[in-house]
Amino acid sequence: MSHDIDRINLRTMRSAAVVAHYARPDELLPHERAALDEVCDEVRGGAILDIGVGGGRTVTALREVSTNYLGIDYSPEMVAASQARYPEVRFAHADARHMADIADASIDLAVFSCNGISMVGHGDRLAIMREVHRVLKPQGVFLFTTYNRNSPEASAGFCFPEFEASPNPARLLVRSIRHLRDTTISVVQRLRHLRHEVHTPEYAVINDKCHNHGVMLYYITLAQQRRQLQAAGFDANAPAYDCAGQRIVGDTTLDSMALIARKEAA
């Protein structure tokens, strides 16, 4: 099952349209910004590992904290897109599950943004947390975002692509054709991927609307995520922010959460 999830998601992440989509933005999301602001002073000037760098959206913000920076991605096309945008910055093709080229206890801040850790199955997710723990220095920080199982999106099922009308007839025609194309793709991919969904008491892997139902995404509650972090050797009380950038007190029903997990001192 984990192999199927990986195959589906990597195929999408290597497609030209998706690479181009991620190569445009250049700013942090509100919860990513709030979490980074909380830890930036303690990691300033340290070694930063940007996991799942994609098209380079996080590069500028993280290099403002430290130029001792390395961005990695398991999609070679994403790495190429980031390198083209930032030719002076270090990037590498690498998989967060097996970061053999990164030494033990060498990283001050590891970042996995854009819910990237949700792009793999359960066993691989746990492997990523163990690998991040290995490469972090004692009391190093793992800042990541993940999908929230307590959100409405976790049970939304099939979703039609959004459609934006236009008073301009020519523009309306073009948008209508694109919407029909995207709807067809969404239906086909939903039918193809639905059988790979996983639902357990701890987590769910869901074929949600992202990329026209073209990926399988891992959803988990905040409480279960903290338990996973503790089992991997991180502090059990990881602070968290909702996707509006507000500190989570208790729980949230918004669809994405940013967590700040600190490696326990040796």
pLDDT at 75: 95
The answer to the question of residue 158 being in a domain is no
CATH number of 225's domain: 3.40.50.150
pLDDT at 24: 80
Structure tokens at 31: 């919860």
pLDDT at 1: 58
Name 258's bridge partners: 145, 241
State pTM to two decimals: 0.93
- Name the domain count of the chain: 1
The answer to the question of residue 130 being in a domain is yes
The answer to the question of residue 153 being in a domain is no
Structure tokens at 247: 């500190």
Determine how many CB atoms are found less than 10 A away from the CB of residue 72: 22
Q: What's the average pLDDT block by block, 10 residues per block, for the chain (266 residues)? A: 85 90 88 98 98 96 98 96 97 97 98 97 97 98 98 92 92 94 93 95 94 95 98 95 97 98 87
The answer to the question of residue 92 being in a domain is yes
Distance CA(83)–CA(89), nearest Å, equals 7
The answer to the question of residue 58 being in a domain is yes
pLDDT at 109: 99
The answer to the question of residue 183 being in a domain is no
CA–CA distances in Å: residue 46 to residues 73, 108, 129, 172, 263? 20, 6, 20, 50, 15
pLDDT at 38: 98
Instruction: Show the domain range for 25.
Output: 2-147+221-262
Name 51's bridge partners: 72, 112
Distance CA(81)–CA(85), nearest Å, equals 6
pLDDT at 106: 98
